[in-house]
Amino acid sequence: MLVVTARDGHSGTRLAVVTASEDSIADLVERARSGRRDAFETLYRRFVGAVHAVVLAHARAADTGDIVQEVFMSGWSHLGELREPEAFAGWILGIARRRAIDARRKDRRRGGAPAELSDSVNPAAPVPASEAKEALSAIQAMSETYRETLLMRLVEGMTGPEIAEVTGMTPESVRVNLCRGMKLLRDKLDGSRGEP
């Protein structure tokens, strides 16, 4: 099932279009294993946002692009080692976690900061870079459960059902993690600004 979301130009309301003809993850994995690059490209498009969020939850922002590429290159070359094709989501997110944690460890040994955003401000960005840095730092200080789901929601714009689909969590668990994570984030940010 494919859920495509878009904003209505007049009301700003999020619209969802559901298409049932989409290939299953297991079918895509099997086709990719047989050498079909188009199948792996579809897997990439479906999971790149979640992989990016997982990497950002653990590594420096400046390193995320390279790590995401490494994750998918590793996934492509080791796809034959995946025992259960329907377990692709957990498998690729596990690779992302390990690669990001390894990169963070290497960076710490070199004396780098764990979270770093570019100082240049994107004029189209709704949040100033300094506030984005503060929020990212606060999120990265949280437990992994909240970090990953919050980044999938806030950075990648994924909905609760989309997060549940790519992580294997139940929609209720995603909802609880997002609610608790947002409360923790608000408390951390309010506390750092001295607000009651």
The CATH code of the domain that includes 114 is 1.10.1740.10
Please name the amino acid found at residue 15.
L
Task: Quote the number of domains for the chain.
Answer: 1
Given this model, what pLDDT does residue 132 score? 82
* Residue 12 forms part of a structural domain: no
- The pair of structure tokens assigned to 103 is 């990169």
* Residue 106 forms part of a structural domain: yes
Calpha distance 23→108 (Å, rounded): 41
Tell me the chain's radius of gyration from C-alpha atoms.
18
Q: Which domain holds residue 111?
A: 23-192
Contact 140, 63 (CB under 8 A): no
Given this model, what pLDDT does residue 51 score? 96
* Residue 159 forms part of a structural domain: yes
* Residue 11 forms part of a structural domain: no
DSSP 122: P
* Residue 160 forms part of a structural domain: yes
CB contact set of 15 (below 8 Å; sequence gap of 6+): 5, 6, 7, 8
162-192 pLDDT, tens per residue?
999 999 899 999 999 999 999 999 999 988 6
- pLDDT (tens, 9 = 90+) of the chain, 196 residues, equals 445 555 544 545 554 444 444 789 999 999 999 999 999 999 999 999 999 999 999 999 899 999 999 999 999 999 999 999 999 999 999 999 999 999 988 877 776 554 444 433 344 445 567 788 888 999 999 988 899 999 999 999 999 999 999 998 999 999 999 999 999 999 999 886 665 5
* Residue 17 forms part of a structural domain: no
* Residue 2 forms part of a structural domain: no
Please give the model's pTM, rounded to 2 decimal places: 0.76
Given this model, what pLDDT does residue 2 score? 47
* Residue 146 forms part of a structural domain: yes
Strand pairing of 2-7 and 14-19?
antiparallel
Give 52's Cβ-side CA count (13 Å radius): 16
Given this model, what pLDDT does residue 89 score? 94
